[in-house]
Structure formats: structure tokens, C-alpha cells
Structure 1
Amino acid sequence: MAIWATALLALGLVLLLEGLVYVLAPSLIEDMLRALRELPPEARRMIGALMMVLGLLLVWGAKALGA
């Protein structure tokens, strides 16, 4: 699978999951955003960096399994 096809697939999955959360539990999103607002910027940066690493590992793992 070409890199652009993989990127498009990944973006589609992210949008699908994000949309699903908004449809099924909109109040959960509001609570999470409220909790994130209370965290200091350094903590939010660390959460973002960890999410990026986890996402990279998941994409790498999927590619290694032949996706």
C-alpha cells in the first residue's frame, strides 16, 4: 500500500472514531475538554507527544503485520 493510501486510511479511521465518540457520548467529550483545560500546558504537550508515539507504533505495527 502506498504511503498516501496509508495516510488516507489512517485519517479516515481517526475521523470515524472521533465522530463516533461525538455521536455516542457528547457529554464525555465536554468533560474531557474541561479536564484538559485544567492541566498545565507542559502536561498537555506530554500527552500529545505520548499520543503521537503511540500512533506511530500502531501504524508501524499494522504495517509490520501486512496491513
Structure 2
Amino acid sequence: MNFRPYVRLEEALTLPYCVVTDWDPLGGTTPPLGKNRTFDLWQDMPSVRGNPPVAGRLHDRRGGAKPGYS
């Protein structure tokens, strides 16, 4: 399920919310879809609030940690 529209609306209305996901697992062959979706939501929150984006991503799109991050 795409939570982005809901998160953006709730952020704009300053409503409290919680997103619960099962990570949309893909059988262990590739990183779960929910991982990148969660990072996308994390980026949307400051955007809707009118704040600068979160500096960098902790993980790249393949699911591995970027150098310098743990």
C-alpha cells in the first residue's frame, strides 16, 4: 500500500499518525519494498513542513548501508 499521500495529508494538517508496515517482503532475494518506502516517507515529512530535506540517505536503493553510515 502506498502510504505517501496519507502521510503528506496528515503532515499538512498537523495530525498525529502512525504508519505500520510488514515491509512488503520479497522472499529474501532482494531488500523488502517497505524499506525504501519508509525512507521516502521520512523524506516527505520535512518537505511538507516546509523544512529542508533530511541530509543524505542512510541507505541506498539497493538496501545496503552507504559508506560512513552504520
TM interval, short-chain normalised: 0.3 to 0.5
* Bigger Rg, which one: 1
Q: RCO (CA 8 Å, sep 6+): is it higher in 1 or 2?
A: 1
TM-score (structure 2 length as normaliser): 0.34
Higher helix share: 1
TM-score, normalized by length of structure 1? 0.35
